Amino acid sequence: MQTDTITPVSVNDVAATNTKKFKWSVFFHYAILIILSFIVIAPIYVMLVTSLKNQVDILSRTPVWIFVPTLDNYTYIMESQNFGRILWNSIVAGVGSTIVTLIAGGLAAFAIARMKFPGRGLMAQSTLIIRMVPPAVLAIPIFALWLGWGIEDGRIGLVLFYTALNLPFTIWLLIGFVRQIPVELEEAAIVDGASPFQVFFQIIFPLMRSGFAVAAIFTFRIAWNEFIIALILTSRLTRTLPVAITLFLTDQGVEWGRAMAMGTLIVFPPLLITFFAARQIIAGLTAGAVKG
């Protein structure tokens, strides 16, 4: 009669197996990070490099890897394409809608989180549903509505639309921050005779600065980069930076160098803001995600 023998497994063998699994896990994690980083960085790199080339190098049949960088494309944009007015239009649309969205969204988040009224729970849960509607679907209704109000060709129309577009996300984000603030602070202020608006602006607002910073960055970025509605609601005098890129689509072809230069000027402001505020964004999102 034969008996099966069990080979003892040493601690070193188990440790070696775990080490191999750990190395492969780390390898795959870094591989995924490298691939994702390449997907994000490669278009920006190509856009920046192309903006520094002349039209001859860009249209060359063979790739031109070594070239003399030139700022002619940027000079042309700033001198001959009314860049100052276009930049001002984008600033008004982005900053204006951000300010209005933060004020309205903060008040709405405070009301939903603190005040009791019929449908409060449903309103809190359905704020993001409205944001899921694609802006392109709203293009024709918005244009017809703005046309009736006489604001279809101005900055006010863009500010109102971007406010409506970003308000649901802002409300949803700020509700979590309001719930982190102790109710006792508000009750003490009310006992001292403060009105709801005074409670919000003097107590809630200062304690939610990180939340407002996160909401401001997201709101500004969306308004700054939006194209479809801006293309419909603006004219030659009120067009924004994303719409201005279409100026380089001519009958003779695409002016790639100037188009890439304009794209670089559009991308870098929100990119720099996000880069320097990355730590605050992560801290703000983490704080707002905790329910009180």
Written as one letter, the residue type at 155 is R
**Class of the domain covering 72-289:** mainly alpha
- E strands, 99-210, are none
- pLDDT by 10s per residue, the chain, length 292: 455 444 554 555 545 555 656 677 778 888 899 999 999 889 888 899 888 888 877 877 777 777 788 888 898 888 876 888 899 999 999 999 999 999 999 988 888 888 777 777 777 777 777 777 787 788 888 888 888 887 777 788 889 999 988 998 899 888 888 888 888 888 888 888 888 788 888 888 888 888 888 889 889 999 999 988 888 888 888 889 999 888 888 878 888 888 999 999 898 888 888 777 767 666 665 655 544 4
Closest CA to 94 of 205, 282, 242: 242
pTM listed for this prediction: 0.78
End-to-end CA distance of the chain: 68
Please name the residues in contact with 257: beta carbons below 8 A apart, sequence gap of 6 or more: 50, 51, 53, 54, 55, 58, 72, 73
Please, are residues 167 and 204 in contact by the beta-carbon 8 Å criterion? no
Please, are residues 179 and 289 in contact by the beta-carbon 8 Å criterion? no
Cβ count near 14 (within 10 Å): 10
Q: Exposed, middle or buried, 239 (CB in 10 Å: 0-12/13-18/19+)?
A: buried
